[in-house]
Amino acid sequence: MEVVALILLLPAFYLAADLIHRWMGVGSIAWGSRSSPKIALTFDDGPSTHTQAILERLRQHGVKATFFVLGSQAQKYPELMERIRAEGHQIESHGQVHRPAFFLWPWQEARQIRAIPGRFYRPPHGIHTPFTRWLTKAAGKQIALWDVESKDWTKQDPQALARRILVWCKPGSIVLLHDNDQFPQTLAILDEILPRLKELGYQPVRLDELETRPLTWREGLMRASQGGHERYFIKNKVERLGLGPFDYLAVSPCAFPGPSQPGLQKGEPSLEVHLDSVRTPAMTQIQLLREGRKGFTLLAEYVQSNPEIRGIWGISQAAAGLRVFGFHLAPVTFLQRLISGTASAWFLWLYRGELPRRSLPSALLGYSPREEFLARWLKKAKAPENPQ
């Protein structure tokens, strides 16, 4: 009976290990400091016949990256391994062969982890067994995952994939790409993102140059919620106001939910303001003010070109902060206050680690009618820059 029970429980142990350590990433490296514009581009599966083309693009843009290589490929292309090292890139282990850990005995997985010397190990597909973390620690390594997946292994349009990377890249991000001749999308994606990342203010570096630490359980929940966050953006047509490292404002089109206010009536076409819960905790008050002004200046140009938009608004416990940007404040209904307060309490804990407090302000409506918003921000958008 005990043997039967163990056999039945074994799949549950494997599933739990993969859920906690791959999907959530608890205990792994998945991103760096959110207060620095440094990010790490990482390439799995190589070296390959695409390695030289990847290296040429990285060299052209002065970018250093990290290659998680396979032992079998390293043996096949020793000259490419030497070239990766010679050009100053970091080399880490992706195992001996690209086989999911589910299909390896523990002693085989141990050999996988030790296939390539280095500080980090990235399991193929990120898949974990109940033994992966113990074996990695025994090898003196750290699991390295990611927080931005390029999806270069799909057949999607590479320009759309590049745009997606730029939208979801954040300070400290670890971007997953591939050095694999079966995925031709990667080269086209690099052609798009390498110049843009630097233009936007990001600093691509090697993984060992990021300020990293293992994810806590709370941060694991943050990582697990990323897919839902992206689906929410798509469903509600949320657009970021700027793609720079610290651009924290986004808006989505909707009918103004009310209560009706002077210059903005319930049901009128409007834009809801969203604040980035990942970026803002790591930003100073001066940064928040500067980047907020930049975001609303960009938004003014969009509002001017869309005359159907009658106002800008947001409901939050942090709505009082919109006053500095010229927004009016107004009370909300009990239901709006309840929904916003519950959401704010969750996000405060998830992204800041703060527990609910009675001293927190009640949710308020911050709003700006179209004419007032344009009068304040369109002049800033058109104003010439001061000479240096």
Q: What is the pLDDT of residues 28-81, one digit of tens each?
A: 999 999 999 999 999 999 999 999 999 999 999 999 999 999 999 999 999 999
**Under 8 Å between Cβ of 332 and 355:** no
| Beta carbons of 54 and 43 less than 8 angstroms apart | yes
In the set 50, 89, 94, 178, the catalytic residue is 178
Catalytic residue among 18, 44, 147, 247: 44
pTM over 0.85: yes
Is the bond preceding 106 in cis, omega lying within 30 degrees of 0?
no
Whether the pLDDT of residue 172 is over 80: the answer is yes
- Residue 44: active-site member: yes
The whole-number pLDDT of residue 20 equals 93
Residue with tokens 């250093």: 64
Between strands 203-205 and 66-69, the pairing is: unpaired
Q: What is the C-alpha separation between 307 and 304, in angstroms, rounded?
A: 6
Residue 290: the pLDDT is 95
HEC per residue, 194-255? HHHHHHHCCEEECHHHCCECCCCHHHHHHHHCHHHHHHHHHHHCCEECCCCCCCCEEEEEEE
Q: How far apart are CA 165 and CA 148, in angstroms?
A: 7
Confidence of residue 2 (pLDDT cuts 50, 70, 90): low
Q: Is 178 annotated in the active site?
A: yes
Q: How far is CA 312 from CA 100, 260, 317, in A?
A: 48, 13, 17
d(CA 152, CA 182): 10
The pLDDT tens digits of the residues spanning 314-372 come to 998 888 889 999 999 999 999 998 999 888 889 989 999 988 777 677 889 999 999 99
The answer to whether the CB of 288 falls within 8 A of the CB of 266 is no
% of the chain surpassing 90 pLDDT:
84
Helix, strand, coil percentages for the chain (3-state, nearest 5): 45, 20, 35
d(C-alpha 106, C-alpha 152), whole Å? 30
